[in-house]
């Protein structure tokens, strides 16, 4: 899976830091991309959600956020950060209601909100690189192969030889990611990029004999594998996508 982190860059015209989005691989065509404070409300919320994703997955330690082992941080602490969103809007100018709207409108359900002791907390459900979170606190264990008859990782033909030689690697993230269904399944929300052209199916029963599998709140299947690697001997089958032609391995 891709593990790009946001790259802070200085903004000569403001006190807050902005982010260089030239290499933002989470940006997709068709999403709102307002380039300044005059953008539409949709652009404003979309840009806020993208920044929240980067902060909560990758930047808690760098920004000295008080992140719990289950990934939650106080929303008020987030709104004090001296950063700008991808729409060049200061994070401090956003409200708790904006945060709620960004969570509600996120089509991959990347976030969870909870209220505790009168305070609103937020977390990213998966995709972390920060070691502030602990797997057992963040995720729910999968105990039976029957729970997930399909467990599939989407990738690209250009990566296949390397994967077959050395296994699926978590790279900079904490886990290797799998989806519980195919890209065209209506219930599948997150866990796979839309433009993949190879599907690698995990033998869940065999995997559970040697590694721990987890499910996130937005239904992404995750594993640390063995030291961050899922060896190819745990692959059940490999298919092309969308043609679904078997690929021998």
133 lies in a domain? no
Q: What are the pLDDT digits (tens) for 208-239?
A: 999 999 999 999 999 999 999 999 999 999 99
- 134 belongs to a structural domain: no
Q: Does 131 map to a domain?
A: no
pLDDT for the residue numbered 217: 96
Residues of the chain with pLDDT under 50: 1-16, 18-38
Between CA 224 and CA 245 the distance in angstroms is 29
Q: What gap in Å lies between CA 188 and CA 32, rounded to an integer?
A: 22
* Residue 231 and residue 172 share a domain: yes
CATH of the domain at 151: 3.20.170.30
Q: Would you state the pLDDT for residue 7?
A: 35
Q: How many domains does the chain have?
A: 2
* Same-domain status, 96 and 162: no
Q: Are 153 and 176 in contact (CB under 8 A)?
A: yes
54 close to 32: Cβ distance less than 8 angstroms: no
Residues 62 and 151 both lie in one domain? no
In a domain, 248, yes or no: no
Supply the pLDDT for residue 40. Answer: 59
C-alpha span between 110 and 201 (Å, rounded): 23
Same domain, 15 and 94: yes
Using one digit for the tens of pLDDT, what is the confidence trace for 72-88?
Answer: 999 999 999 999 999 99
- What is the rounded CA–CA span in Å between residue 126 and residue 65? 17
Predicted local distance difference test score (pLDDT) of residue 173: 95
**For residue 90, what are its two tokens?**
């200061």
Name the E strands within the chain. 7-9, 18-20, 73-74, 111-116, 119-124, 140-141, 152-155, 168-169, 176-178, 198-202, 213-215, 221-223, 229-230, 235-240
Domain that holds residue 98: 7-124
Contact indicator for 241, 249 with CB cutoff of 8 Å = no
In a domain, 247, yes or no: no
Q: Are residues 71 and 149 in the same domain?
A: no
Q: Give yes or no: residues 108 and 153 share one domain.
A: no
Q: Are residues 11 and 48 in the same domain?
A: yes
Per-residue pLDDT, 187: 72
Say what the pLDDT of residue 96 is.
Answer: 98
* Structural domain ending residue among the three candidates 124, 155, 184: 124
Residues 107 and 12 in one domain: yes
């Amino acid at each position: 899976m891709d593990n790009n982190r946001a790259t802070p860059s200085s903004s000569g015209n403001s006190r807050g830091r902005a982010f260089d989005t030239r290499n933002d691989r989470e940006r997709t065509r068709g999403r709102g991309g307002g380039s300044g404070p005059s953008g539409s409300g949709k652009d404003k919320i979309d840009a806020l959600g993208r920044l929240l994703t980067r902060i909560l997955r990758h930047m808690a330690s760098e920004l000295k956020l008080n992140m719990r082992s289950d990934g939650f941080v106080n929303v008020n602490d987030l709104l004090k950060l001296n950063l700008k969103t991808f729409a060049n809007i200061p994070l401090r100018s956003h409200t708790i209601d904006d945060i709620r709207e960004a969570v509600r409108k996120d089509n991959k359900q990347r976030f969870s909100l909870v209220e505790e002791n009168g305070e609103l907390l937020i977390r990213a459900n998966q995709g972390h690189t920060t070691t502030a979170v602990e797997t057992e606190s963040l995720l729910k264990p999968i105990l039976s192969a029957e729970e997930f008859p399909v467990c599939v990782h989407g990738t690209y033909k250009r990566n296949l030889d390397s994967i077959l030689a050395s296994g699926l690697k978590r790279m900079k993230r904490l886990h290797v990611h799998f989806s519980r269904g195919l890209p065209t399944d209506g219930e599948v929300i997150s866990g796979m990029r839309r433009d993949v052209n190879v599907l690698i199916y995990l033998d869940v029963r065999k995997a559970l004999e040697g590694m721990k599998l987890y499910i996130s709140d937005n239904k992404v299947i995750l594993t640390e594998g063995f030291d961050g690697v899922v060896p190819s001997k745990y692959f059940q089958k490999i298919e092309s996508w969308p043609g679904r032609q078997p690929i021998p391995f």
